[in-house]
Every structure is written in structure tokens, then in C-alpha cells.
Amino acid sequence: MKKPFPWHILVFLTPAFLIYAVFSAFPLLDTLRLGFYTTSETGSQHFAWLANYRMLLFDPNWSEGFWNAMGNNVKFFLVHMLIQNPLGLLLAALLSMRGVRGAKAYQTLLFLPTLLSVVIIGFIWQLILSPLWGVAETLLGYVGLAEHFQPWLGQEETALYTLSLMSVWQFVGIPMMLIYAALIAIPDEIIEAAVVEGASAWRIFWTIRVPLILPTLGLVTILTFVGNFNAFDLIYSVKGALAGPSYSTDILGTYFYRAFFGYQSQLGSATLGAAVATLMFLVILAGVGVYFFFVQRKLQRFSF
């Protein structure tokens, strides 16, 4: 008997496929296309092959800003990798220990900022750190550190790191939850066997737990990478699209905003913006590619 055509598969897949195609795949392809055009004085668009990319990468008017934004983005990402994710791992490890009192409450509290709007986060921190009315200086004063207070958000040297740490504060809940979920999924028998063998808690953590959650750590890394290189909202809500002082907090997202929408009297250009968006896409694609090639392939799935 001939097998009937599996219509149900088609029926179930079509809606998702259509939505994905219309709202994700098509805009992406159209952006890639638009990047090859330029906008003339009158607003009409002409095919110009690589003119936009040449401008972004080699014309000092634009390339300096682009590489500055790229550099800042890398710093932004490194702060997250060096502080947010280890902190997430530490918190998850502590919370997954047996007999921690109020573990659920801590989890909720630590995860809470993630649920808040970035605009609120930016506003709160701006108030806290304000040299005029902020509480930061007073709080530092209680521990005798008042003279170390600086207008951190206003200095070229510190503004980007301050913003990165604000972002870390907000999002540390996500790696924590993911890692926590992986940690509690490790079967008790393995840990118990190690305990019977006489392994210390420290040793159990590094030689049993961490290797078993490596796929999750990889996932967290790639999520951080994609999130950070697409970041925009926090910088925009705190420093505006000009990402001051002197572009020291400019990242690819704000750079894209200025290219696409313009800022104040600087006119935006949809085509140049599309080229910036394409470059951002390529950077993220390359990063994800490297990750899949060198890391993901070597990871083993453990199933029990």
C-alpha cells in the first residue's frame, strides 16, 4: 500500500514557516540587498555595489567611528564574559548546594532585574550614580571610600565599563538560571559515587559538575555574544545616540542608529544603515561560526 502524503506535517509547519519567512528571513535578505544601494539627494536609491562598505571601512569619516564602536563592543562583551558569566556560575553553584536557606527567594531576587525594562534600569542607575543627587557617594562614604567616588558615567575612561556593569547587574540572572538548571539535572548517583570515592566538594565541582555543564556554558557564551553585539537599548537610554563623552560608549548598535535614523541635524540613510546592519550580522555570524566549529563540535552530550 502506498503511504499517504504526510499532509499533517505541511499543515503544522506552514504557519511557522510563513511567519518566519515574512518577519525574519525576508527582512534579513532585504537588508543585505539594501546595503548595496546608495541614497541620492532627492531620496531615490541606486545600486552602487560596495560603495557603502568602502565608506564604512575605509573613509575616515565613517571608519573611525565604526572601528571605535567595534572596539567598544568587544570590551562590552569581555566584561560580560569575565564578570557576568563567572558570577552566574558562582551563584548557580551556591544556589544548587543542598540546604541553602531561602534559595528560591535569592533566585527570584537575582532574576528580577532581568524582567525590568532597560529604560528603567538606565534611569535608576543614572540616579544612583548622579554626582549631584545620587546615593552612591553617600553609600561609599559609609565605608570610608567617599573620596574614590567619580562621575563614572561622564568620564571617557569609565563610562563604557560602568554601562557594562549595569548590564551585567541586570542580566546576570539569565546565565545563573541556565547553569542552575543544568547543575540540578546532574544525577545524584554520580555525585554520590564521587563522595564515596572520597573526592572533596571542590574536586567534585571542577572535575564532575563543570565538565557536565559545558554545553550549557557554551550556550551561555554564545547567547552573551549575540546579545552583546546586538546591544543598543541601555547605551541609548543612558547616553543617547551620540554615545558620549566623545563616543567612548559608542557600540555597533548606537552607531547603526546614527547611520540609519540620523541624529539631530545629521540625516539618516536607510542604505548606509543597512550596510552597517549587514556588517553587524556578519560579525555575529562569524562569531557563531567560530563557536560552532571549534567548540560545539567537540562537545559531548551526556545522556543518562
Partner 1 sequence: MKHIRLTQGALAAALLTAGTAQAGTLTIESWRVDDKALWEEVLIPAFQKKHPGIQIKFSPTAPTEYDSALQARLTGGTAGDLITCRPFDKSLDLYKKSFLEKLDGKGGMQNFPASAKVAWQSDDGKDTFCMPMASVIHGFFYNKKIFKELGLQPPKTVAEFHKAADAVKKAGKTPIALGTADQWEASQIVFTGIGPNYWKGEEGRKAIVAGSAKFTDAPYVAAWTEMSKWAPYLAKGYSAQTYGDTQNLFASGRAAMVPAGSWDIGYYNQQGVDFGAFPPPVQKAGDKCYISDHTDLGIGVNPKSKNKGDAYKFLEWVGSQEFADLYTNKVTGFFSLSNHLIAVKDPVAKSMIDWRKTCGSTIRLNAQILNRGEPNMETELWTVNSAVLNGKMTPKAAAERIQAGLSKWYKPAK
Q: Which residues in this chain contact partner 1 in the complex, by CB under 8 A?
A: 41-43, 61-62, 126, 129-133, 150-156, 239-242, 244-247, 261-268
The alpha helices in the chain, defined as continuous H runs, are 7-20, 26-34, 51-58, 60-79, 85-95, 103-115, 118-129, 136-142, 159-171, 173-185, 188-197, 201-204, 210-212, 214-229, 233-239, 252-261, 270-294
Q: Which is nearer to partner 1, 122 or 173 (CB)?
A: 122
Nearest approach, Cβ of 129 to partner 1 (angstroms)?
7
DSSP 245-292: STTTT--HHHHHHHHHHEETTEEP-HHHHHHHHHHHHHHHHHHHHHHH
Nearest approach, Cβ of 239 to partner 1 (angstroms)?
8
Nearest approach, Cβ of 247 to partner 1 (angstroms)?
7
Q: Which is nearer to partner 1, 76 or 152 (CB)?
A: 152
CA 83 to chain centre: 13
Q: Which is nearer to partner 1, 111 or 169 (CB)?
A: 169
Nearest approach, Cβ of 241 to partner 1 (angstroms)?
7
Nearest approach, Cβ of 233 to partner 1 (angstroms)?
14
Instruction: State the Cα–Cα distance between residues 185 and 207, nearest whole angstrom.
Output: 16
User: CB of 50 within 8 A of CB of 293?
Assistant: no
Q: Which is nearer to partner 1, 240 or 287 (CB)?
A: 240
Instruction: State the Cα–Cα distance between residues 294 and 275, nearest whole angstrom.
Output: 28
Q: Which is nearer to partner 1, 217 or 252 (CB)?
A: 252
User: CB of 73 within 8 A of CB of 228?
Assistant: yes
Nearest approach, Cβ of 261 to partner 1 (angstroms)?
4
Instruction: State the Cα–Cα distance between residues 259 and 236, nearest whole angstrom.
Output: 14
Grid cell for residue 198: 572520597
Q: Which is nearer to partner 1, 170 or 249 (CB)?
A: 249
Grid cell for residue 216: 550549557
User: CB of 172 within 8 A of CB of 88?
Assistant: yes
Nearest approach, Cβ of 37 to partner 1 (angstroms)?
15
Q: Which is nearer to partner 1, 39 or 84 (CB)?
A: 39
Instruction: State the Cα–Cα distance between residues 230 and 250, nearest whole angstrom.
Output: 13
